[in-house]
Amino acid sequence: MSLEDKLYPLLSVYERLPDGAKRAIGWGYRQLPTRVRLGRRFSAFRKLTQDVESWSAEQIRSFQLEKLRETLTHAAQNCPFYRERFARSGFDPSRFTAFEDLSKCPFLEKQDLLKNREAMVSRVVPPSQRLYMTTGGSTGVPVGFYLQKGVSRPKEQAFLEAQWRRGGYFEGARMAVIRGHVTSERAEGRISSYDATRDWLMLSSYHLTEARLPEYLDAIERFKPDLLHAYPSAALQLAEFLERAGHEWRLPIKGLLAGSERLTIPQKRLLERVFKCRVYRWYGHSERVILAGEGKESEIFYFWPTYGYVEFGSPNSDGLCEVIGTSFHNVAMPLIRYRTGDFVRLADPKHDGNLEFPWLAASAVDGREQEFLVSGKGRRISLTAFNMHDSIFNDLYAVQFYQEESGKVEFRYVPGPAFSRTRLPQIEIGIRRKLGDDMNVRLKEVKETERTSRGKHRWVVSRL
């Protein structure tokens, strides 16, 4: 297990320490070799990201078939849910020899994770080797799952860094980050804190208003980052305020890393004009099933063939295909043919040009919208930034924010059979901590939440 995984349970203790103590501990942590901080698997995953970029289509095919066989066999032998589901559907992993055979394997829905999570866990991976996470994703359906300690986190870091290098990242880069970090529960609270373990400036995406723009610019310019790492919605707010105030971005940076939300090409061009650097986009999931990022030169999203196996559903009336993924490496809780609920437009060389890699690719990702709540003092709160990664929404089938008036929001929830209403005060406290003291919150139980025209859950419904 990596040192990072061992120390993760102590993160809340570290964050309560005085700034001086955190800086000293963080500096010492950064001096440790990468193999100690991230574990021995990190180097292997980093090598995998480097090797695959020169692999032939046949090498990729061979690797994926082997990993799929490993995942399917392990799930059938060690995960009760998959053992029963495979038997019921007549799918036999021992007979899996070609990608076409996977069509006989049932799809995995988000509801399956909600109802059968513990039965999906591998019986040969002890609880001490599992890391519990939750996500609402882009759908508003809270999903809990397990990652594998010593594997999932170093793998994610290796692949993310490999992508980010295309956008200007380098090892040891100083980053100014605007991605949902809670610096203060008060609307007038501080806007930044320093993460000494990574040498990152953590800026609040909850306090970003035009009136406080000078504070953000001053904090960033004093820190002198190599890159910005921001939710697209936060970067667009900053760019919008700069242009409206007649200010020019004065700090040279190597790139802006923009993930977790949809960013259109016109929006990307605006950011590149304002920040005078490449804006790099990528697409992934907290569940660590699949990952895609723009190329070195092109703006096409390339799906890493060594990260997970990706399939696409049939095109809908708009020509978009649902993303379906099967995880590699995480034996604690494999996800097999997992329907993400996100849609992409597949890349077409006739219109998009030659592909840089012989990988599956998409020209656009439909989903992960930039959705906001508006506080009483005009703060725009991104629902991507709000996303919880603890157990606060466990046993809720769906959650949704409904807003008709600035500063007031209704939190709607659909309880599952195991949900206890005694947890409602804890949920309300967690929501208020994220939204701040200038937002009035009301909880309301509903039978179902509003959906999109495609039947997809929505995080937020705004009538503003």
CATH number of the domain encompassing residue 453: 3.30.300.30
| Within a domain: 335 | no
Q: How many CB atoms lie within 10 A of CB 132?
A: 16
Specify whether the CB–CB gap between 287 and 145 falls below 8 A: yes
| Within a domain: 11 | yes
Specify whether the CB–CB gap between 458 and 452 falls below 8 A: yes
pTM score, whole prediction: 0.81
| Within a domain: 456 | yes
Q: Which tens digits make up the pLDDT trace of 407-444?
A: 999 999 888 777 888 999 988 888 888 888 889 999 99
| Within a domain: 209 | no
Phi and psi angles of residue 134, each rounded to the nearest 5 degrees, phi first: -135, 160
Which tokens is 5 given? 């995984």
Q: Which of 437, 438, 434 is nearest to 399 (CA)?
A: 434
Number of separate domains in the chain: 2
| Within a domain: 308 | no
CB neighbour burial string for 403-415, b if at least 16 within 10 angstroms, e if fewer = beebbbbbbbbbb
| Within a domain: 118 | no
| Within a domain: 160 | no
pLDDT computed for residue 200 by the predictor: 95
Specify whether the CB–CB gap between 452 and 200 falls below 8 A: no
Which tokens is 124 given? 């040969």
| Within a domain: 288 | no
Regions of the chain where pLDDT drops below 70: 136-141, 367-370, 382-391, 397, 451-457
Instruction: Report the phi/psi class of residue 182: left, alpha or beta, with left for phi > 0 and alpha for psi in -120 to 50.
Output: beta
Q: Domain of residue 413: give its range.
A: 372-462
pLDDT computed for residue 180 by the predictor: 73
Specify whether the CB–CB gap between 113 and 120 falls below 8 A: yes
pLDDT computed for residue 452 by the predictor: 60
How do beta strands 291-294 and 143-148 pair? unpaired
CB neighbour burial string for 344-359, b if at least 16 within 10 angstroms, e if fewer = bbebeeeebeeebbeb
* Tokens 């804890």 sit on residue: 426
Phi and psi angles of residue 259, each rounded to the nearest 5 degrees, phi first: -130, 175
Phi and psi angles of residue 82, each rounded to the nearest 5 degrees, phi first: -70, -35
Q: Which tens digits make up the pLDDT trace of 259-268?
A: 888 888 888 9
pLDDT computed for residue 263 by the predictor: 86
CA terminus-to-terminus distance, the chain: 48
pLDDT computed for residue 386 by the predictor: 62
Identity of the residue numbered 242: L
The 3-class secondary structure across the chain, one letter per residue, is: CCHHHHHHHHHHHHHCCCHHHHHHHHHHHHHCCHHHHCCHHHHHHHHHHHHHCCCCHHHHHHHHHHHHHHHHHHHHHHCHHHHHHHHHHCCCHHHCCCHHHHHHCCCECHHHHHHHHHHHCCCCCCHHHEEEEEECCCCCCCEEEEEECCCHHHHHHHHHHHHHHHHCCCCCCCEEEECCCCCCCCCCCCCEEEECCCCEEEECCCCCCHHHHHHHHHHHHHHCCCEEEECHHHHHHHHHHHHHHCCCCCCCCCEEEEECCCCCHHHHHHHHHHHCCCEEEEEECCCCCCEEEECCCCCCEEECCCCEEEEECCCCCCCCEEEEEEECCCCCCCCCCEEEEEEEEECCHHHHCCCCCCCCEEEEEECCCCCEEECCCCCEEEHHHHCCCCCCCCCEEEEEEEEEECCEEEEEEEECCCCCHHHHHHHHHHHHHHHCCCCEEEEEECCCCCECCCCCECCEEECC
Helix 80-89, helix 57-78: angle, nearest 10:
100
Average pLDDT score, the chain: 89
Q: How many CB atoms lie within 10 A of CB 94?
A: 9
pLDDT computed for residue 379 by the predictor: 81
Cα–Cα distance for residue pair 343/40, rounded to 1 Å: 35
